Structure 1
Amino acid sequence: MTLERILETAGLSGATTTPLGGGTYNSVFRVSSREGEFVLKIAPEGPPGLTYERQLISTEAMFCRLASKVAPVPEIVHTDDATALLATFLPGEPVFGRDVDRPLIRRQLGEAVRAVHEITGPGYGYPQLGLHGTWTEAFQHMYAAVLADAERFGVRLPTTDLSRHAKAFDEVRRPALVHFDLWDGNVLADTGLSGLVDGERAFWGDPVAEFVSLALFGTIEDDRDLLAAYGFEFTDSARVRLAAYQAYLYSIMLTERVPRGSSDEAFERVIMDALTRALGVLA
């Protein structure tokens, strides 16, 4: 379906589009019409790159429908749950690289993330891949999938045996809605927090997994403002799980560079160093 046809189906009139940067999977456009300002996402053609990268439009639509009720998340205007998603345009700009009132933003972000995590799902894992009855089983499948993707793309990754830490994962007894991509580029702010965007990588699982991207390549326990507002205190088992989720995300980031044609060797070293540190916790 053409871009014009998508906008017509969504009921917009006099619409103009402007490409937006920052998207690493879908094509993203800002849409201006008589009905208002919107963001349009269009899925890429062809097969998915990594195993979980399928039907991401459907996953983001699900995330927005649920999370927009409790946090500053775009509301869905139109979607076909396969190739296109039209959502409301939120004010503000990504906080990445900006001079903002960071303590305020982090406190507001902690409150918003906690509200999202209170949403409970019907099972564990990625909704587009089929849910599991336990988080332990779901995460084992998620981690195994990215290792299989790495082998398929010829990426050599250091790994660990997660089964040694099964008791830590067994502590997760409720499938919370997890965004899993809340780095500073997906957090919007003007005078305060104004948006959480790009929920296409969401899953049902352990809220601790959220803390990986919230402190990408860093240590979330240093973020006292966010953790205090969230109301979270780490335990030893939560630290083990966090390290596993770091290893998972950094393995994804290293593997996806092949199908995306990325060749930034310096950034690859940053990711690999972070992966090595995470695996050291699990050793």
Structure 2
Amino acid sequence: MADAGERARRILSAAGLGEGDLVTVRSLDGGTYNTVEELVLTDGRRLILKTPPPPETPILRYEHELLPGEAEFYRGAATVDVPAPHVVVLADGRLLMTACPGTPWHLASLEEAEQRTLRRELGGLVARLHRVTGPAFGYPSAATGPLAPDWRTAFTAMYDAVLADARRYRAWLPRPVDEVARTAKAAYDTLDEVTVPRLVHFDLWEGNILVERDGAVRIGGLIDGERMFWGDPLADFVSLALLGNIEDDPEFLTGYQEIGGQVEFTSAARQRLALYRSYLYLIMLVETVPRALGDEDVTWRREVVAPQLTAALDELGG
């Protein structure tokens, strides 16, 4: 594998920038899948380079060809003026983009009033994201199947793929894989209510929301859009309320509805939310095997994430 300097020079060349424009390359923490590096140029610009893992790396099925999807997310965000990185170039499987200002939300030392203000702003930004529509449903990479004309076909293929990963990696789950499959299937009829494929980030936990201070606090960027798909906008509410319930976040919902976001927590909508929660928590448990996570992280997921998966399945079956 090329070293950091060589990777940076190659991508700068692909972007039409001179190799001599590079000042420094610095590895960034926080990524659990791609290699992430900051490139500083002679004119002071900061760019972010993402490089996927080597082909032989064990991964989940949906993780094939993530970076083209991330680029698609940023292009979509730009059309609705949502702060996010801008794509510089996607070449040789690597993504070069601009850096956004700010600090990850969970590291920003925010006062309670600032948290409320930001949640309302975030609601508006997500509502704008959900105005962006796609050509069909599913992952752009077709990792779990080609883009589908209906959401049921796309999402059930996504769900089946993570269950197949659970079997392949013999991942620990709080319930048998076949039981999980049967429970989820009982709620699949509710997916037919979704008729328009919309831009879904699906990883909007606080670590992927940058906060900047320029007098008052504001959101500097929504980052790490690599797990995006075209689907039901309700699915974004899962990571936005990770290990919780978006209905307990009135500031976010107010901001979402002020900008035109439409949400009604009907029985069918809550069933779909439970499906999407179970999907995300399955991913979080199954990925511990190919990621070879340490004992502390595995224990946390079994003690904290697994009960959330069980609760979502109980809701689906209840």
The answer to whether the aligner puts 1:27 opposite 2:43 as a matched pair is no
- Contact 2:203 2:239 (8 Å CA) reproduced: yes
Measured after TM superposition, the shift of residue 155 of structure 1 is 1.1
Measured after TM superposition, the shift of residue 166 of structure 1 is 3.0
* Amino acid corresponding to residue 100 of structure 2 in structure 1: L
Size of the alignment, in residue pairs?
Answer: 282
1:179 alignment counterpart: 201
- Contact 1:91 1:188 (8 Å CA) reproduced: yes
* Greater Cα offset, 267-276 or 136-145: 267-276
The answer to whether the aligner puts 1:73 opposite 2:73 as a matched pair is no
* Greater Cα offset, 238-247 or 164-173: 164-173
Measured after TM superposition, the shift of residue 73 of structure 1 is 1.0
Output the TM-score relative to the length of structure 2.
0.85
- Contact 1:107 1:225 (8 Å CA) reproduced: yes
2:189 alignment counterpart: 167
* Amino acid corresponding to residue 211 of structure 1 in structure 2: F
Instruction: Look up the SS of the partner of 1:182 in the other structure.
Output: coil
- Contact 2:86 2:97 (8 Å CA) reproduced: yes
The answer to whether the aligner puts 1:277 opposite 2:303 as a matched pair is no
Instruction: Look up the SS of the partner of 2:239 in the other structure.
Output: helix
Equivalent residue for 2:13, pick from 8, 25, 41: 8
Describe the superposition over 1:160-213 as per-residue Cα deviations: whole angstroms up to 9, x where unpaired. 433322331100010001000000000011121111000000000000000010
Matches within 5 A, 1:1-283: 2-3=6-7, 4-10=9-15, 11-12=17-18, 13-35=21-43, 36-47=45-56, 49-70=59-80, 71-80=82-91, 82-100=92-110, 101-129=114-142, 130-157=146-173, 158=175, 159-161=180-182, 162-190=184-212, 191-231=217-257, 232-262=263-293, 263=295, 264=297, 265-283=299-317
- Contact 1:76 1:85 (8 Å CA) reproduced: yes
- Contact 2:102 2:210 (8 Å CA) reproduced: yes
- Contact 1:160 1:282 (8 Å CA) reproduced: no
Q: Distance in 2 between matches of 1:144 and 1:212?
A: 19
Output the TM-score relative to the length of structure 1.
0.95
Instruction: Look up the SS of the partner of 2:50 in the other structure.
Output: strand
Q: Distance in 1 between matches of 2:161 and 2:22?
A: 44
Measured after TM superposition, the shift of residue 234 of structure 1 is 1.5
Q: Distance in 2 between matches of 1:46 and 1:97?
A: 33
Q: Distance in 1 between matches of 2:241 and 2:50?
A: 26
- Contact 2:187 2:275 (8 Å CA) reproduced: no
Q: Distance in 2 between matches of 1:14 and 1:199?
A: 26
Q: Distance in 2 between matches of 1:241 and 1:177?
A: 17
Percent sequence identity is 45
Which structure: greater helix fraction?
Answer: 2
- Contact 1:149 1:255 (8 Å CA) reproduced: yes
Measured after TM superposition, the shift of residue 97 of structure 1 is 4.1
Q: Distance in 1 between matches of 2:10 and 2:53?
A: 17
* Amino acid corresponding to residue 21 of structure 1 in structure 2: D
Instruction: Look up the SS of the partner of 2:46 in the other structure.
Output: strand
Q: Distance in 1 between matches of 2:62 and 2:219?
A: 29
Describe the superposition over 1:225-258 as per-residue Cα deviations: whole angstroms up to 9, x where unpaired. 1111111332211110000000000000101111
